[in-house]
Amino acid sequence: MTFFKSLFSATAIAATFIAASASAQTYPERSITMVVPFAAGGPTDTVARLVAESMSKDLGQQVLVENVGGAGGTLGAGRVASSEPDGYTILLHHIGMATSASLYRKLAYDPLNAFDYVGLVTDVPMTIVARKDFEPTDLKGLVDYVKANKDTVTVANAGIGAASHLCGMLFMSQIETPLVTVPYKGTGPAMTDLLGGQVDIMCDQTTNTTKQIQGGTIKAYAVTSADRLPVLPDVPTAAEGGLNDFQVGIWHGVYTPKGTPAEAIEKLNASLKKALKDENVVARFAELGTAPSPDSDVTSAALKAKLEGEIARWKPVIEAAGQYAD
Ligand code: MLT
């Protein structure tokens, strides 16, 4: 009897292995959900939808963006961390994956152990912007104004852990002045209030602010890149405006839940690489002040190394600012 039992279990294991390897070879067999951990209409959503559209064409299956906003991107990241590691739920997230490791004392996931890594996507500069009728006319004037009106000036962000939160935190640290912050589920909805004058200033990515700045519907004081941006030639760098140690780039990556089959990750990586060479993606990224990551960065190893390095880099900065979320 034992012989037949062991024969049966060996057959069952072999059948499971064959089925798994077969499905991995035919992956993807159905649509893939790309979770964006912020509200629709913001910079992360903009990057994701451009990449997802191109990957859909390449993979022959829909890559559907699902916005899961809240808690500075940690709700959406947590959703993916606890999803089935089958390659059908993936995450596009940014620097917040690193900063939330230090900002949140109780994260539902370990950023370094809950995910597998597909690759880096793009590194987006930020802009310090305000509602268009805000009084100050340049960055120095803005700093003087917010220092003199610290209890009334409002700063929009996408919650603790968001890129806009990080940039705002650096701004407040640099000017040694805490300001009133207004959190949103993403800087898409925050932009609506900035345009409507319900909130005063925001530090947000060019993928969300370039068109508004070019259209004159918001005021721009600085870009956080080392040099001025071709799409915003009249906007000085933060260094030109007197904020010297203020270079912030918002890198983005694609992740899957830990344990995703290697074949699925390889197919996602190959498709992501193609999407970042898609002429529409390249052109839209350029219009919005950014560019795709180079092939050498669109690898699992590069994303993993970036995340590890950025967690270590931002930990002391966040501890010095003393801003935490429970
Ligand atoms: C951020 O501040 O992290 C992003 O701008 C949020 C978003 O993409 O809406």
Indicate the fold that domain 31-123+250-321 takes in CATH.
D-Maltodextrin-Binding Protein; domain 2 (3.40.190)
Q: Name the helix (H) or strand (E) containing 90.
A: strand 89-94
This model's pTM is above 0.85:
yes
Tens digit of pLDDT for each residue in 91-136?
Answer: 999 999 999 999 998 999 999 999 999 999 999 999 999 999 999 9
Tens digit of pLDDT for each residue in 163-188?
Answer: 999 999 999 999 999 999 999 999 99
What is residue 7's predicted lDDT score, i.e. its pLDDT?
62
Rounded to the nearest integer, the mean pLDDT of the chain is 94
C-alpha to C-alpha distance for 137 and 10, rounded to whole angstroms: 75
Instruction: To the nearest 10°, report the CA torsion of 232, 237, 238, 240.
Output: -140
Which one is the CATH code of 125-223: 3.30.2130.10, 3.40.190.10, 1.20.1260.10, 3.30.1490.20? 3.40.190.10
74 pLDDT higher than 70: yes
Index of the ligand 1 atom closest to the CA of residue 41: 9
Tokens found for residue 2: 């034992």
Tens digit of pLDDT for each residue in 290-304?
Answer: 999 999 999 999 999
Tens digit of pLDDT for each residue in 9-28?
Answer: 666 666 666 655 556 678 99
Is residue 248 within 8 A of residue 170, CB to CB? The reply is yes
Question: Looking at ligand 1, which residue's alpha carbon is closest to its atom 9?
Answer: 186
Question: Looking at ligand 1, which residue's alpha carbon is closest to its atom 6?
Answer: 186
> Domain locations in the chain?
31-123+250-321, 125-223
User: Which residues contact ligand 1 via a Cβ below 6 A?
Assistant: 38-39, 42-45, 96, 158, 162-164, 186-188, 204-205
What is residue 211's predicted lDDT score, i.e. its pLDDT?
97
What is residue 16's predicted lDDT score, i.e. its pLDDT?
60
User: What average pLDDT does range 300-323 have in this prediction?
Assistant: 93
Residue found by looking up tokens 């690759």 in the block: 119
Q: In CATH terms, are 31-123+250-321 and 125-223 the same topology?
A: yes
